[in-house]
Amino acid sequence: MLHEHTLTALRDMLRRREISSTELTQHCLDRIAKHSDLNAFVTLDESGAMAAAAVADKQLASGEADLLTGVPIAHKDIFCTRGVLTTCGSKMLENFVSPYDATVVERFHQAGSVTIGKTNMDEFAMGSSNETSFFGSVKNPWDPDRVPGGSSGGSAAAVAACLVAGATGTDTGGSIRQPAAFCGLTGLKPSYGRVSRYGMIAFASSLDQGGPITRNAEDAALMLQCMAGFDPRDSTSINAPAPDMATLLGAQVRGLKLGLPKEFFDTSVDAEVLEKVRESLAVLERLGATLVDVSLPNSPAGIPCYYVIAPAEASSNLSRFDGVRFGHRSEHAEELVDLYENSRAEGFGEEVKRRILIGTYALSAGYYDAYYLKAQKIRRVIAQDFETAFEQCDVIVGPTSPTTAFPLGAKTQNPVAMYLNDIFTNTVNLAGLPGLSVPCGFDTAGLPVGLQLIGKFMDEASLLSTAHQLQQETDWHQRMPAEY
């Protein structure tokens, strides 16, 4: 069946004219309709997708194929798309139609891909389970009673259920890697600045980074090649060209030193998760890698540090949603202050309000030094821990998440328990490093387990090549949910 093929395989089949983009795009649309109960999509652009597929077929026929010509993909609903709803999973933006494309969307258009729709997400990317969306929770294809992870849960569910072969996501504290782990996928958070944030609606500007969610490392490398590169419209964009596939997948595991932080292998991690992680490390050892014990002593401070800095930046970024210029506008206001207060009270969900309040408090007079400034100092120390560890190893490895996917509703009443899902991922964002989650097995309940690889700044190649060689020796990434 068409949906069982990887993104790279579909790209090659299109180039060989074995299938048409029109046929493939319609197949994806039919599957999305069939499995709408997953709630993976907020918006479908059926007419736009079919029109783009027709154009792609003409290009393929004339031999003018680009990197992803004719391949259907989906975008997380945080990326602005011209003429299509961009909601950020929020009532605040439920009717917002963007007048321009985000750089990421623009680059996929230039590469010839077909945008099939926008995927569901935690509201303004604030969440670890995809349960804060105004449009309802997304379900995990491996078990519909469990969460797919967040905030890029819609993208992860869509790829895991083979509705599309690849999708974009964003990662502020683990929001690509954790859903990739929960859904048995490969998810890459690139180095900060590798992928443009222009047109990506901001949550925490110093932490946000876009990246791909795919079935395997080869597909992730292909999507990264498409979406990465310098963008003069983004002041934080790194002035470096996009890496090519050969660079990203060509390195060998033999001789690679893999660092195992003792803080990632303690009793807080589920025993079955640790078992599967260690099994995958044994495979890498057989391929010639060397395991080295390292330490990230300040990583336990990552959660409190992150949950000061991220809400502080969110409170600033979300101040633009005031009911005046765009977004939800309250109909119950007698004066300007009422308009501000009522529009924000009605437009934002509970988790977003919680983080805005925390961030505003942390930035307020009398508390800035005690909270925000101290968190920034801890952030520097966390980054130094990584620098020290990388003096002993090339790549740091460990679990992506301390558990597999948990039941829907299990942690919605306990925000702190929810936040702890990101204990192994958010320090990577604080340090601006690349991180990759790759499937490494299943627990006894049949739920996927994720292995996290963390690299040096701008060294996505070591992560992708290591994951690619692991996937040549294992089949965890090839397994699909039985119902899909």
32: CB partners within 8 A, 6+ apart: 40, 41, 44, 116, 117, 158, 163
Residue 76 a catalytic site member: yes
Please give the Cα distance from 151 to 178 (Å, whole number): 9
Q: Is 17 exposed, middle or buried (0-12, 13-18, 19+ CB in 10 A)?
A: exposed
Does residue 484 surpass a pLDDT of 90?
no
pLDDT digits (tens, 9 = 90+) for 384-426: 999 999 999 999 999 999 999 999 999 999 988 899 889 999 9
Does residue 267 surpass a pLDDT of 90?
no
First to last CA, the chain: 11
pLDDT digits (tens, 9 = 90+) for 15-43: 999 999 999 999 999 999 999 999 999 99
Residues in the chain: 484
Q: From the candidates 76, 118, 139, 411, which is the catalytic residue?
A: 76
Q: What is the pTM of this model?
A: 0.97
Q: Is the dihedral angle over the CA atoms 22, 27, 33, 38 positive or is it negative?
A: negative
Question: How much of the chain exceeds pLDDT 70, in percent?
Answer: 100
Question: How much of the chain exceeds pLDDT 90, in percent?
Answer: 93
pLDDT digits (tens, 9 = 90+) for 169-208: 999 999 999 999 999 999 999 999 999 999 999 999 999 9
Q: Which two tokens stand for residue 64?
A: 């003018």
51 and 58 Cβ atoms separated by less than 8 Å: no
474: CB partners within 8 A, 6+ apart: 280, 283, 440
Average pLDDT, the chain: 96
For residue 427, the model assigns a pLDDT of 98
Grade residue 164 by pLDDT with cuts at 50, 70 and 90. Answer: very high
Architecture (CATH level 2) of domain 2-255+399-408+433-478: Alpha-Beta Complex (3.90)
Grade residue 250 by pLDDT with cuts at 50, 70 and 90. Answer: confident
pLDDT digits (tens, 9 = 90+) for 220-234: 999 999 999 999 999
286 and 258 Cβ atoms separated by less than 8 Å: no
155: CB partners within 8 A, 6+ apart: 40, 74, 76, 119, 121, 167, 168, 169, 179, 213
Does residue 366 surpass a pLDDT of 90?
no
pLDDT digits (tens, 9 = 90+) for 421-458: 899 999 999 999 999 999 999 999 999 999 999 999 99
Residue 175 a catalytic site member: yes
For residue 247, the model assigns a pLDDT of 85
Does residue 1 surpass a pLDDT of 90?
no
Grade residue 245 by pLDDT with cuts at 50, 70 and 90. Answer: confident
Interval 268-291 mean pLDDT: 97
Residue 133 a catalytic site member: no
Please give the Cα distance from 143 to 33 (Å, whole number): 19
What's the Cα-to-Cα distance from 335 to each of 315, 319, 330, rounded to whole Å? 23, 18, 11
Q: From the candidates 90, 151, 152, 237, which is the catalytic residue?
A: 151
Q: From the candidates 90, 128, 155, 175, which is the catalytic residue?
A: 175
